[in-house]
């Protein structure tokens, strides 16, 4: 897997308020990797406010979500996190595992998407 090149976290959402311009609020995401010098990541723009704010919180959580998924993937690869095969001989067990395989494929794709050049 490629090395992540994005700005280190943690990231946080800041609501920039513009009272002189109609009172709108623009959600912005900053990195606090250096608390003395927060780094601007992105702005969500302004449409209906609630959607942009929700998008901002999702973007701000990205570094932690990436780290958590990467840790799960590494546990799987190392064999420390294993699936339960105690029901292996029961009917339907193999079919139930398709969702596990799809989820693992989604994790792999999400991690790759985050570090794609």
Confidence band, pLDDT 50/70/90 cuts, at residue 1: low
Confidence band, pLDDT 50/70/90 cuts, at residue 75: confident
pLDDT of the residue at 38: 94
Annotated domain spans of the chain: 11-115
Encode pLDDT of 88-103 as tens digits: 777 877 777 788 888 8
Buried b (16+ CB within 10 A) or exposed e, 43-60: ebeeeeeeebbebbeebb
Q: Which of 34-38, 47-51, 64-68, 106-110 has the lowest mean pLDDT?
A: 47-51
CA angle 95, 101, 105 (to 5 degrees): 155
pTM strictly above 0.85: no
Side-chain half-sphere of 116: how many Cα atoms within 13 Å? 7
């Amino acid at each position: 897997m490629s090395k992540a090149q994005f700005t280190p976290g943690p990231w946080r959402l800041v609501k920039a308020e513009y009272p002189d311009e109609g009172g709108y609020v623009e959600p912005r995401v900053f990195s606090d990797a250096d608390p003395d010098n927060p780094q601007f990541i992105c702005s969500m723009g302004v449409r209906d406010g609630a959607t942009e704010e929700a998008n901002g919180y999702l973007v701000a959580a990205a570094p932690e979500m990436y780290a958590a998924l990467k840790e799960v993937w590494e546990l799987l690869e190392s064999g420390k996190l294993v699936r339960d095969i105690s029901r292996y001989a029961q009917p339907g067990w193999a079919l139930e595992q398709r969702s596990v395989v799809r989820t693992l494929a989604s994790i792999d794709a999400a991690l790759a998407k985050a570090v794609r050049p």
